[in-house]
Structure 1
Amino acid sequence: MRSSNPVFSSLKETQRPQGQNPYGGYDNFGGVYQQNVAPQKAERPMTVDDVITKTGITLAVIIVFALVTFGVWLVSPGLGMILTLVGAIGGFITVLVSTFGKKYGSAAVTLIYAVFEGLFVGGISLLLSGFTVGNANAGGLIGQAVLGTVGVFIGMLFVYKTGAIKVTPKFNRILTGMMVGVLVLVLGNVVWALFTGGASPLRDGGIIAIIFSLFCIGLAAFSFLSDFDAADRLVREGAPSKMAWGVALGLAVTLVWLYTEILRLLSYFQNR
């Protein structure tokens, strides 16, 4: 199985005789089959309800810790900034652990990511909305970003369900290539800021920055198609129910990315 999302891309499609499940324990009809390997305890196959439940729990944890950062920032802006940086670095490391440490489907890894990402989301929301400099419309800006994120998610789910856009290996390769390109540009932007003390043209609120944000929003939106396809395959192939935690992590990564890009774009227009 391949996906543009780094969390899902750690999964490898397993070749198997027809009717057998690559994850062990169940065939396509829900029965237990015998493998030519040491017996394994059969696990309940993953369902769509599992995905919804685990994703809901993950997002709830993110929201709770985002509110924690909000509260801390009101009392101590310095500590709030530290929590935001810890969340950003911790979330990035957790995704790397999940991807390269073969921890896909770990509830602990997913929830740890949610904690870190909650700290980051809370802080970045305050910064991008202008709350820290007394912007009276900060709350409305954050609300618009949340609604925009939910709208894009629902829209792309509809696109996937209707089959308007097919997720193929070529689609995933192109999407992955574009995401790597964006990552390089973002890292370059960080280096620029460190050496110049100011934002690069990609993040200064100008025309180039607006175009770049729109491109990132589009890329995040299309990433949902890849995420939905990976989750759909896991359900159809009877993956163990614990794998729903991995799906939740992958969807949360894309949701947070989309939210921050929408909020950043709205902030550009707010400052004009």
Structure 2
Amino acid sequence: MKSSNPVLNRIGAAAQQPRYSVPGQGVPTSYAPGGYPEVVQTGHADVMTLDDVVVKTITLLGLAALSAAVTWTVLPFELLAPVWIAAAVAGLIVGMIISFAQVTNALVMCAYALIEGVFLGAVSRAYNTAFDGIVLQAVIATLGVFLTMAVLYKAKVIRATPKFMRVVIGVTAGLGVVMLVNLAIYLITGSASPLRNGGPLAIGFSLVCIVVAALMFVVNFKQIEDGIAAGLPRKYGWLGAFGLLVELVWMYLEFLRLLSYLQDD
């Protein structure tokens, strides 16, 4: 599961570049590194706004939730594992394409949300079968952390300084590598490593992942804020929504794991 978004990093960088516009026009007249057009807010309606990012985020979350509910309801239990794996691979591929190809197409974003929903529906049903009520607990915990970080960011209790963002993104990238190596070990040996076997080390690792995912919300908030300040076109709001969806999915999965470890004990 992705945890940092290269596209949003470029949005943040775009906000730091010089911007030029033709007076009275909302058209790009310069381009930031990475190919993003820089559009200064000049009264043109087609620019990225916070409200628009919120609407797009709710849209993606709604599609993911709907897809998850349908998967949970109609998918036979014996097909959970293959569908889980297929959706995880498909989501990873589509997510990487969105990130590195700088995709802002609404249909692609919605397709990604639907794929993630299938993945989440299969995973959630499997966990809930083993640990009744765990899904609701994980959802509440995830939303609680997200809202808490949003309030702390808005109140400027946590400030996304350049150093803070570099450190958090670096740690997130490191965790991503560790998780990929851990997955490779599982596929080769067929058994969970100490980081995922439910022991004390696994509990500690999940707690670290949850903390880092929470800090990544702050990074995403800042990158969205920078994109709005740069006056980027409205379509780039999809990237802000995409980044938040990725982080929410990651945190939800880590809460599922952590709660399963604790209940299993």
TM-score w.r.t. the length of structure 2 is 0.86
> What amino acid sits opposite 2:84 in the alignment?
T
Paired residue for 1:66?
Answer: 68
Change (3 A) 1:251 1:50: same
Preserved CA contact (<8 Å) 1:46 1:240: yes
Preserved CA contact (<8 Å) 1:7 1:95: no
Residues 70-111 of structure 1 show CA distances to partners (whole Å, capped at 9, x for unaligned) of 1233xx2333322211211111111111111121x3212211
Paired residue for 1:257?
Answer: 250
Paired residue for 1:111?
Answer: 110
Q: What is the correspondence of 1:14-163 to structure 2 with a 5 Å cutoff?
A: 15-17=17-19, 27-28=40-41, 30-31=42-43, 44-73=46-75, 76-103=76-103, 105-129=104-128, 131=129, 135=130, 137-138=131-132, 140-163=133-156
Q: What is the correspondence of 1:166-181 to structure 2 with a 5 Å cutoff?
A: 166-181=159-174
CA distance in 2, matches of 1:177, 1:70: 35
Identity between Structure 1 and Structure 2 (%): 39
User: Which of the numbers 232, 236, 240 marks the counterpart of 1:247?
Assistant: 240
CA distance in 2, matches of 1:254, 1:7: 14
Preserved CA contact (<8 Å) 1:213 1:262: yes
Change (3 A) 1:16 1:121: same
Preserved CA contact (<8 Å) 1:65 1:118: yes
Preserved CA contact (<8 Å) 1:45 1:240: yes
CA distance in 2, matches of 1:25, 1:180: 28
> What amino acid sits opposite 1:44 in the alignment?
D
> What amino acid sits opposite 1:13 in the alignment?
A
Computed over aligned residues only, the root mean square deviation of the Cα atoms, in angstroms, reads 2.2
* Unaligned residue ranges in structure 2 (runs of 5+): 23-27, 31-35
Change (3 A) 1:270 1:200: same
Residues 179-213 of structure 1 show CA distances to partners (whole Å, capped at 9, x for unaligned) of 12211211121122122221110001100000000
Give the CA deviation at 1:26: 5.4
CA distance in 2, matches of 1:6, 1:113: 17
Count of aligned residue pairs for this structure pair:
250
CA distance in 2, matches of 1:271, 1:24: 51
CA distance in 1, matches of 2:256, 2:92: 20
User: Which of the numbers 158, 180, 188 marks the counterpart of 2:181?
Assistant: 188
* Unaligned residue ranges in structure 1 (runs of 5+): 32-41
CA distance in 2, matches of 1:234, 1:113: 22
Secondary structure (helix, strand or coil) at the match of 1:46 reads coil
Preserved CA contact (<8 Å) 1:5 1:226: no
CA distance in 2, matches of 1:17, 1:186: 39
CA distance in 1, matches of 2:180, 2:127: 18
Residues 115-157 of structure 1 show CA distances to partners (whole Å, capped at 9, x for unaligned) of 111011111112333x1xxx4x52x211111010110001000
TM-score w.r.t. the length of structure 1 is 0.84
CA distance in 2, matches of 1:8, 1:46: 13
Preserved CA contact (<8 Å) 1:84 1:124: yes
User: Which of the numbers 116, 132, 157 marks the counterpart of 1:164?
Assistant: 157
Give the CA deviation at 1:158: 1.0
Secondary structure (helix, strand or coil) at the match of 2:6 reads coil
Secondary structure (helix, strand or coil) at the match of 1:198 reads coil
Paired residue for 1:223?
Answer: 216
Preserved CA contact (<8 Å) 1:10 1:99: no
CA distance in 1, matches of 2:9, 2:19: 23
Change (3 A) 1:195 1:27: closer
